[in-house]
Structure 1
Amino acid sequence: MAALESLISAGNSLFWGIGMLIIIVGGGLYMTIRLGFFQFVHFKDMWKRIIDRQDSDSGISAFASFCTTMAMRIGTGNVAGVAVAIYTGGPGAMFWMTLAGMTNSAVCFTECVEGSLFKRRVDGEYRGGGYYCAQNGLGWKGYGTFLAAISMIGIGLFMPAAATNTICDGFRNALGIPMWVSALVIALIMIVVIWGGIKRISQVASAVVPFMTVIYIACTIIVLVMNFTRIPAVIVEVVTCAFGKNAVIGGGLGLAITQGVRRGTFSSASGMGESTPTAAAAETTHPVKQGMSNAAGVWLDTVIVCNCTGLMILLTDCFHTASGYVGSGDPSLATLAATGTNGVIFVQLAVTHVMGAIAPTFIAIMLALFSFTCLISYYYEAESAATYLFQGAEKAGARKAATMFLKIAMPILIFFYGIVKASLAWDLADLALGSITWFNMLVVLCLSGRVIKMYQDYEKQMAAHVDPVYNPDVLTFKGVDNDLWKEINAKKLAK
C-alpha cells in the first residue's frame, strides 16, 4: 500500500505542477480576453440562462442540466476541499482559489459550448463530451477514444474516493457512526438513483441542489453577521498570505497558489470536461446559452460557495496549518494540530459558533447532500464516456455491458473508499482530476476558435434584440450534426 501511495503522490506532483497553472489559469485568461471578459459583460445574462426550462424526450432542460452540473460541482471540494487548502496553503489559498474561479468560468464556458455544439443523439438521448469534440470537431477519433477511456476510469472509479470518504468522516465526527456503515448506506442509495438514468439523476439534483445551496449560504451569512468586525482583518490576512508575506499563518507563496488553483479546479472541474456531458444533454436553442448557464455555475460554486466555507473557518479562527499555526477558535485545535487532523472538522467547529452542539451533525448532513450529488453526477459522466467508447448500433450489447459494469462497480468502490485513509482518497481524486484535465484541455483550446465565432453569432443576435437561435445554414463547422440542430430549432427557424 505504501508503494501505491508513493506512486499516486508522484503522479500528482507531475500533473499538478507549474504546467497546470499555465494551462488552467493561462487558458482561462486567454479565453477571458478573447471573449471580451464575457463573464463580467454578460454577468446578468449568465444567470438568466439558468432558468430556461425547455426540454424534450431527448434532452433535459437548461435548469436541470445546471442543477445536475452543480450537483457535481457543489460538493466535497466546497467544504472539505477548502479546509484542506487552508491547512496546506494557508488563508492565502482562498485568494488564488477565487481568481481561479473567475478565469475557470471562461474555460467552463468554452468546453460547454463545444460539448453542446458537437453533441449527438445516442439511444434517444443527447450525448456529448470532450471525446465527442475530439472526434467530431478535430477529427481525432483515436484521441477521443483515449480521452473517453481515462474519463470513464478516472471519473467513474477514482473521483468518488474523496466525496465518499468525506461523507463518512463527517458522520463519524458528528455522531460516532463507523465509516463502513455510512459507506454501505451511501452505496445502497447510489444503486437506487443511478439505475434511473439521466432523467432520475437530474430530478434528484434539481430537488436537492437549490435547497442545500441556499441553506449553506444562509449559515455563512449568520457567521458573517456575528463576526462582522473581524471581516476587514480576515481580508487583509488572506491577501498578505496569498503573496507569501505572512509566514507565521500562511503556507508560503508557492503553496498558496498551487493549493488555491488545485482546489478551485477540483471544485469547479473546469477544463476536466465533467460539465460537458450534462451541457450536451440540455435542450437549448443555441450552444452559447448553455455555456453561459454553466459559466454562472462556476461563479456560484467556486467564487461564492467556496468563499462561504473559507470565511466561516477564518472568521471563527477554527483551523490550523501545516506550517505550524494553531487557531484559537476551539480548544480541540491544539490536539487536532498535534495529530495532523484537518478537513471537514474545521467547518464543523466553525459552525458550532452559530448552531452550538448540533453543528457537527448539521454539517455532516449538508456534506452528505453535497457529496452524494457529486457521486451521482460522476456516474453520469462515466456513463457518457462508456457510451462513446461503444457507440454504434453494432456495439449496443457492449455499451449496455459497460454501463452495467459501472452501475455495479461504483457502489462497490464507494464502500471501499469509505474505509481507506483520507489522504489516499484525496490523492486518488486529485490524480484523476489532474490527468484528465491535461488531456481534455488540449481539445478545449484547439476548438476555442469555433467558440469565439459562436459567441460572436450569439452577440449579433442579442444586439438585434432577438432570442439567439443556432442556424447551421448560417454558421457551421466540420463535425457539427447540422440535421440534429435543424430538428432542435425547426419551429424557430421556420418563422
Structure 2
Amino acid sequence: MSSIESVLSTLASWVWGPPLLVLLVGTGIYFTVQLGGMQLLKLPLAFKLLFRRDDSAGDVSRFSALCTALAATIGTGNIVGVATAVKLGGPGALFWMWMAGLFGMATKYAECMLAVKYRRTDSRGEQVGGPMYYIADGIGKMWLAKIFAVFTLLVAFFGIGTFPQVNAIVDGAEIALSVPRNITMVVLTLLVAAVVLGGIKRIAKVATALVPTMAIGYTVACVALLAANADAIPAAIKLVIDSAFNPVAAGGGFAGATVMMAIQFGIARGVFSNEAGLGSAPMAAAAAKTKSPVEQGLVSMTGPLLDTLIICTLTGLALVITGAWQGDAAGAAMTSQAMSDGLSKLVGSKIITIALLFFAFTTILGWCYYGERAVLFLAGEKGRLPYRIVFVGLVAVGGLLQLNMIWLLADVVNGLMAVPNLIALLLLRKEIIGDTRAYFAAKQQQVMTEPAQAS
C-alpha cells in the first residue's frame, strides 16, 4: 500500500503542478475579464432565473438541474476536502479555495452555457450534453471528446463518485454513531441502487429534496459556531490571508506548509469541491428545461458560490478559529473536532456525521449520472445497465480503502478530466463571449423598446 501511495502522490504532484493550476485559474480569470465580471454583476439575475418556470425542452427544471449538479459538488469536499487542504497547506489554502471558487464561477458559466447550446436528444427522448458533445460538435475533435468521456468514467468510478464519499460515510457512522462499517456499507449500497436505477429524473427528485435541506442545516450549524466565537473571526481571516502568501511553521499536529503547498492544495480541493472546469456540471445543466444557453449558464454559475465561497468558507473558518487545524486529527475527524470544540462534543460530532451522510450520498448519486452519460457517449445504450451494476459494486467496496490513497487517486483523475474540457472552453471562447454579449444586447434592446411601445 505504501508503494502505491507513493506512486499516486508523485502522479498527483505532477498532474496538479503549475501547468494545470495556471490553466484552471487562468481560464476563470480570462472569462471573468472578457465577460466583465459577470459572476458578480449578473448574480441577482442568476438567482431570479433559478426560480423562473420554463416549459421549454428538457427533462428537469432549472432548479432541479442545479440541485443535481450541487448534489455532486456539495459533498465530502466541503467537510473532508477543506480539512485536508488546511491540514496539508495551512490556513492559506482556504484563500486559494476562494480564488478557485470566485474565478470558477466564470468557468462554470462558460461550460454550462455550451452544454445547453450543443445538447442533443437521445433515443429515449432525454436531453444529453456536456463537454463530450461540445468538444465533438463544437471543435470537431471526436478523439478528444472520447478522452474526456474516459476520464469522466474514471472519476465516477475511482475519484469523486465513489471511494471518497463511501469512505467518509462509513468512517463518520463508525466514529460518531458506533455503527459497524459492514452494516453501513450494505445499507448505503442498497440505497444507492434503489435511486440510480431510476435514472436522471429520480436522481434529480432526490437531489431536489435533499440538497437544499442539507446545505441549509450545515450552514446554520457553522454560523452558530462562528457566532459563538465572533471575536476570533477577524484574527482567523487575517491568518488565512497571511498564510496564503507566507510559509507556515510546524506546530502541534501541523507539519508546516510552503506557499506552493497552500496554492496547490487550496486550488485542488477547491476544484474537487465545486468542480468548476472539470466538465461535470454541464452534463446536469444539459437536462434543464430552458431554451436559452446563456440563462442556464447564469443559473449554473451560482454553484461555486454556494459550494465553495459559502459552505467551504464556513468549514475553513471553523477549523481555524477552533485551532483544530493544528491538532492530530485529519479529514472528517478534524472537522468534527472543530464542531465539538466550537459548539459541544455531543452536538458537534452528530452534526458532522449527519452532514457527511447526506452530502456524500447525494454526491454519489450525481456522479453516477455523470459516469452514465460518459458510458452512453462511448458505448451507447448497451452500456447503461452494466455501468450501473459496476458503479453499485464499487460503492459496496468503497469503504475498504485507506483515506490517503483515496484522496490521492481522486486528485489524479480529477486533474486529468479537467484538461480536455479547459482546452475546449478556450478553443470555443469566441462563441461563449459572442453569444453572451448578444444575449445581453438583445435584453437591453428589449428594455429600451418596451417604454416606446407602451407610449
In which range does the TM-score fall when normalised by the shorter chain?
over 0.9
TM-score by length of 2: 0.93
> How much has 1:366 moved relative to structure 2?
1.1
Gap runs ≥5 in structure 1: 321-325, 327-336, 391-398, 467-495
Q: Which amino acid is 1:402 matched to? A: G
Is residue 60–residue 283 contact of structure 1 (8 Å, CA) maintained in 2?
yes
CA RMSD, Structure 1 to Structure 2 (Å): 1.7
> How much has 1:457 moved relative to structure 2?
1.6
Q: 2:177 aligns with which of 171, 175, 178?
A: 175
- Once the two structures are overlaid, the 10-residue window that deviates more, 293-302 or 56-65, is 56-65
SS at match of 1:281: coil
Q: Aligned partners of 1:297, 1:145: CA distance in 2, in Å? A: 26
> How much has 1:401 moved relative to structure 2?
3.2
Q: Equivalences for 1:46-445 in 2 at 5 Å?
A: 46-55=46-55, 58-122=58-122, 123-159=124-160, 160-248=162-250, 251-320=257-326, 326=327, 337=328, 341-352=329-340, 353-390=342-379, 399-445=380-426
Identity across the alignment (%): 33
Q: Give a deviation string over 1:447-473, Cα, whole Å, max 9, x none.
A: 12111011012111221346xxxxxxx
Q: Aligned partners of 2:434, 2:106: CA distance in 1, in Å? A: 15
Q: Aligned partners of 2:152, 2:90: CA distance in 1, in Å? A: 31
> How much has 1:56 moved relative to structure 2?
6.2
Q: Aligned partners of 2:148, 2:233: CA distance in 1, in Å? A: 44
Q: Give a deviation string over 1:181-220, Cα, whole Å, max 9, x none.
A: 2222211110000011100000000000001111111111
**How many residues in Structure 1 have an aligned counterpart in Structure 2?**
441
Q: Aligned partners of 1:55, 1:371: CA distance in 2, in Å? A: 31
SS at match of 1:464: helix
Is residue 110–residue 297 contact of structure 2 (8 Å, CA) maintained in 1?
yes
Q: Aligned partners of 1:147, 1:235: CA distance in 2, in Å? A: 38
Q: Equivalences for 1:27-38 in 2 at 5 Å?
A: 27-38=27-38
Aligned to 2:13: 13
Q: Aligned partners of 2:398, 2:234: CA distance in 1, in Å? A: 40
> How much has 1:58 moved relative to structure 2?
4.2
Q: Give a deviation string over 1:270-304, Cα, whole Å, max 9, x none.
A: 11111011111111121011111111111111100
SS at match of 1:319: helix
Q: Give a deviation string over 1:220-249, Cα, whole Å, max 9, x none.
A: 111111001111111111111111154356
Aligned to 1:473: none
- Once the two structures are overlaid, the 10-residue window that deviates more, 146-155 or 305-314, is 146-155
Is residue 58–residue 124 contact of structure 1 (8 Å, CA) maintained in 2?
no
Q: Aligned partners of 1:274, 1:88: CA distance in 2, in Å? A: 26
SS at match of 2:330: coil
Q: Aligned partners of 1:452, 1:420: CA distance in 2, in Å? A: 44
- Call closer, same or farther: CA 1:105–1:254 in 2, change over 3 Å: same
Q: Aligned partners of 2:21, 2:153: CA distance in 1, in Å? A: 25
Q: Aligned partners of 1:104, 1:184: CA distance in 2, in Å? A: 36
Is residue 113–residue 297 contact of structure 2 (8 Å, CA) maintained in 1?
yes
Gap runs ≥5 in structure 2: 448-455
The structure carrying a bigger helix percent of its residues is 2
Q: Which amino acid is 1:126 matched to? A: Q
Q: Give a deviation string over 1:406-450, Cα, whole Å, max 9, x none.
A: 211112111222111111111121122111111221112111211
- Once the two structures are overlaid, the 10-residue window that deviates more, 419-428 or 178-187, is 178-187
Q: Aligned partners of 1:314, 1:5: CA distance in 2, in Å? A: 28
- Once the two structures are overlaid, the 10-residue window that deviates more, 174-183 or 437-446, is 174-183
Q: Which amino acid is 1:142 matched to? A: W
> How much has 1:400 moved relative to structure 2?
3.4
Q: Aligned partners of 2:164, 2:298: CA distance in 1, in Å? A: 28
Q: Which amino acid is 1:188 matched to? A: L
- Call closer, same or farther: CA 1:215–1:309 in 2, change over 3 Å: same
> How much has 1:55 moved relative to structure 2?
4.6
Aligned to 2:451: none
Q: Which amino acid is 1:349 matched to? A: Q
Q: Give a deviation string over 1:305-345, Cα, whole Å, max 9, x none.
A: 1001111111222222xxxxx4xxxxxxxxxx2xxx40111
Q: Aligned partners of 2:181, 2:51: CA distance in 1, in Å? A: 38
TM-score by length of 1: 0.86
Aligned to 1:334: none
- Once the two structures are overlaid, the 10-residue window that deviates more, 101-110 or 43-52, is 43-52
Q: Aligned partners of 1:377, 1:168: CA distance in 2, in Å? A: 19
Q: Aligned partners of 1:149, 1:350: CA distance in 2, in Å? A: 38
> How much has 1:373 moved relative to structure 2?
0.5
Q: Which amino acid is 1:429 matched to? A: A
> How much has 1:6 moved relative to structure 2?
3.0
- Call closer, same or farther: CA 1:53–1:351 in 2, change over 3 Å: farther
